[in-house]
Every structure is written in structure tokens, then in C-alpha cells.
Amino acid sequence: NAGVTQTPKFQVLKTGQSMTLQCAQDMNHEYMSWYRQDPGMGLRLIHYSVGAGITDQGEVPNGYNVSRSTTEDFPLRLLSAAPSQTSVYFCASSVRADTDTQYFGPGTRLTVL
């Protein structure tokens, strides 16, 4: 199993550009989530999904969209990048929403100029 994979590892955008961060897992996990990690602020939940076709907002959803058309994939879309979205983004998955054991991907480091 590859576990949770994220692409790209690094990305530089200009303000106003859009892009999609990819996340995939091969463990047949129902629950997937996106976090951003900023210095001194821990991880903050952006969006999450309890299964294919079901998504919901986390703590900091503004400026981001998600969809979950398959169990394996959970892409995160930045609609119009802003410097405040410069961060490290982590995708995670778990067997079910209530199993409380999340497996994290290696992260995407995004810089918005």
C-alpha cells in the first residue's frame, strides 16, 4: 500500500491563480480530510468527507473547494489564491469518521506570491 499520497510536494502560485492539490489513498478509507499547518498554529481543518459524495466544512473553509467523487481521491481546489493561503497542506484519511486514527500524507508546501 502506498498509503496517503499528495501531489505536488511544492508549488508556487501568483495571487489570483487557481490550482488543485491532489490527495489519494489506497486503503479504502471512508474518511478523508484536509488541513493546513501554519507556524505556531498547529493543524486546522479545512474540509472533510465521511464518504464518497459527502463533504463538509471544517474550521477554515473559505477560499477552498473540495469534492469526493470516489473513495480514493479527495482533491482540494484553491479558487483564487491569496498570500494568506501560503501554508503546508496535509491530507489525511481514516477507516471511518469515528475511528480517530488518521493517516497523513507527506504534505504540499504552497507559496502564494
Partner 1 sequence: TQLLEQSPQFLSIQEGENLTVYCNSSSVFSSLQWYRQEPGEGPVLLVTVVTGGEVKKLKRLTFQFGDARKDSSLHITAAQPGDTGLYLCAARTSGTYKYIFGTGTRLKVLA
Binding site for partner 1 (CB under 8 A): 4, 31, 33, 35, 40-45, 48, 50, 56, 58-59, 90, 92, 97-98, 100-107
How far apart are CB 92 and partner 1 at their closest, in Å? 7
How far apart are CB 15 and partner 1 at their closest, in Å? 26
SS3 7: strand
How far apart are CB 21 and partner 1 at their closest, in Å? 14
Q: Which residues, 6 or more positions from 4, have their beta carbon under 8 angstroms from its beta carbon?
A: 23, 24, 25, 27, 91, 92, 93, 103, 104, 105
Which of 15, 10, 25 minimizes the C-alpha distance to 88?
10
User: What's the maximum distance between 2 C-alpha atoms anywhere in the chain?
Assistant: 38
Phi and psi of 84, rounded to 5°?
-70, -10
